[in-house]
Amino acid sequence: MEDYRNKTKKVQIGNVCIGGGERIAIQSMTNTKTEDVEACVAQILKLEKAGCDIIRVAVPTMEAAESIRKIKEQIHIPLVADIHFDYRLAIAAIENGADKIRINPGNIGDEKRVRAVVEKAKEYNIPIRVGVNSGSLEKHLVEKYHGVTAEGLVESALDKVHMIEEMGYENLVVSIKSSDVMMCVKAHELLAPVCPYPLHVGITESGTLLAGNIKSSIGLGLILSQGIGDTIRVSLTGDPVEEIKSAKLILKTLGLRKGGIEVVSCPTCGRTKIDLIGLANKVEEMVADIPLDIKVAVMGCVVNGPGEAKEADIGIAGGIGEGLLIKKGEVVKKVKEDELLETLRQELLHWNE
């Protein structure tokens, strides 16, 4: 398998480096008004705590662009300004300290306006993310390919990249997004071999928590597993903190990021005698801030629990009145039912002793 990720150019975004084999960065986007500095900062700090590496904010007004400076003073991760239509907002965002700007050169205006943005980015030496979306594919490409297609998305992206290159700037990141999962996958397969710049990967407009997670997991999984993608976002309609949780789990599942406890649990059956769903949720919440790279199993019965938990480093199996503490598939002790959670917690807190 070609590992395109190790061959892309390295790009510095604030204090985070992407591309060239660097760790895949997790991005999200605020859903607060950027003009509301207090609310925006509060949400970004929550995202930082959850594990967000790079944050993007919408810049629809000059007030939003000017708010970037105040926001930057209070956060610790790179900030990307998302610009549409008005090139002056891009210039103002750069002047107010944005670490990167995201534009679609096709809707910024004529070449003169695009050049003004490029020159300002060059002056401040910040990257431009060239973003192409299936919802705004140029009419002539829709006609050329008889509809919105992966080929059209790639041609659109490369046209815009070449335009900026001809203006003398190569500090670029590229993204092509679609809500059609398989179209998005195909587009990345076509783009990766011919694009030297880091790729930001995501399934746009993927939906609410359930649908969005499923579509993003399939799409990102297919793309990332081919060695494509330097940064990712799981786009969800809801609390952006959920995007970070999902992105971390996708990367961990693919073996692309280590760290954090992985919780596995059985799906329950007629043998289950305890509230396993509630217990598993409590375990997930409990281990969220414990810095171990291990697997924890939460099983529903003492009959099959030990065998099914043998691939985990540690686990618990519930039963009426008492349960089991299990390590590597071996029962190490019986525990009162109401002490299972605390027993597991103490084992984890003293794991390396």
DSSP string covering 215-243, please?
Answer: HHHHHHHHHHTTT--SEE----SS-HHHH
Most confident of 29-38, 205-214, 258-267, 280-289: 29-38
- Residue 88 pLDDT > 80, yes or no? yes
What pLDDT is stored for residue 222 in this prediction?
A: 96
What pLDDT is stored for residue 59 in this prediction?
A: 95
Same domain for 235 and 318, yes or no, is no
In this structure, what token pair is assigned to residue 194? 């011919």
Model confidence at 290, in pLDDT bands (50, 70, 90)? confident
> Is 301 known as a binding-site position?
yes
Most confident of 113-127, 134-148, 254-268, 336-350: 113-127
What pLDDT is stored for residue 204 in this prediction?
A: 81
What pLDDT is stored for residue 78 in this prediction?
A: 97
Model confidence at 168, in pLDDT bands (50, 70, 90)? very high
Same domain for 271 and 244, yes or no, is no
Residues in Cβ contact with 5 at an 8 Å cutoff, skipping those fewer than 6 apart: 19, 21, 24, 227, 228, 229, 230
In this structure, what token pair is assigned to residue 33? 């008004």
What pLDDT is stored for residue 53 in this prediction?
A: 97
In the chain, DSSP finds a helix count (H) and a strand count (E) of: 13, 15
- Please name the helix (run of DSSP H) or strand (run of DSSP E) that holds residue 340, with its range, or none: helix 340-349
Q: Using the 3D structure, point to which of 230, 254, 278 is the last residue of a domain.
A: 254
Average pLDDT value for the chain: 90
Alpha-carbon distance of 147 to 163, in angstroms, equals: 24
- Residue 2 pLDDT > 70, yes or no? no
> Is 243 known as a binding-site position?
no
- Residue 70 pLDDT > 80, yes or no? yes
Model confidence at 207, in pLDDT bands (50, 70, 90)? confident
Query: Are the C-beta atoms of residues 306 and 273 closer than 8 Å to each other?
Result: no
> Is 52 known as a binding-site position?
no
Same domain for 208 and 304, yes or no, is no
Same domain for 340 and 202, yes or no, is no
Nearest CA to 157 out of 230, 219, 105, 222 is that of 105
Tell me the average pLDDT across 132-159.
91
Same domain for 245 and 291, yes or no, is no
**Amino acid letter, residue 346:** Q
Same domain for 236 and 327, yes or no, is no
Q: Rounded to the nearest 10 degrees, what angle do helices 340-349 and 276-287 cross at?
A: 20
In this structure, what token pair is assigned to residue 109? 């205006």
What pLDDT is stored for residue 206 in this prediction?
A: 65
What pLDDT is stored for residue 3 in this prediction?
A: 76
pLDDT digits (tens, 9 = 90+) for 271-282: 787 888 888 999
What pLDDT is stored for residue 80 in this prediction?
A: 97
Q: Say how many domains are in the chain.
A: 2
- Residues 62, 65, 69: CA angle, nearest 5 degrees: 135
Query: Are the C-beta atoms of residues 216 and 234 closer than 8 Å to each other?
Result: yes
- Residue 89 pLDDT > 70, yes or no? yes
Same domain for 319 and 171, yes or no, is no
The answer to which of 75-79, 184-188, 301-305 has the lowest mean pLDDT is 301-305
Same domain for 82 and 169, yes or no, is yes
Q: Using the 3D structure, point to which of 254, 284, 301 is the last residue of a domain.
A: 254
The CATH number for 336's domain is 3.30.413.10
The CATH number for 231's domain is 3.20.20.20
pLDDT digits (tens, 9 = 90+) for 95-112: 999 999 998 877 877 888
Same domain for 53 and 201, yes or no, is yes
> Is 195 known as a binding-site position?
no
What pLDDT is stored for residue 98 in this prediction?
A: 97
What is the residue whose two structure tokens read 């598993």?
Answer: 280
Tell me the average pLDDT across 172-191.
94
- Residue 306 pLDDT > 80, yes or no? no
What pLDDT is stored for residue 127 in this prediction?
A: 97
Same domain for 279 and 177, yes or no, is no
Q: Using the 3D structure, point to which of 201, 225, 254 is the last residue of a domain.
A: 254
> Please, where are the H alpha helices in 26-149?
37-50, 62-72, 87-95, 105-108, 111-124, 139-144
Same domain for 234 and 305, yes or no, is no
Same domain for 17 and 166, yes or no, is yes
* 84 C-beta neighbours (distance < 10 Å), count: 16
Query: Are the C-beta atoms of residues 64 and 30 closer than 8 Å to each other?
Result: no
pLDDT digits (tens, 9 = 90+) for 221-246: 999 999 999 999 999 988 999 999 99
Residues of the domain holding 217 = 4-254
Q: What are 12's strand-pairing partners?
A: 17
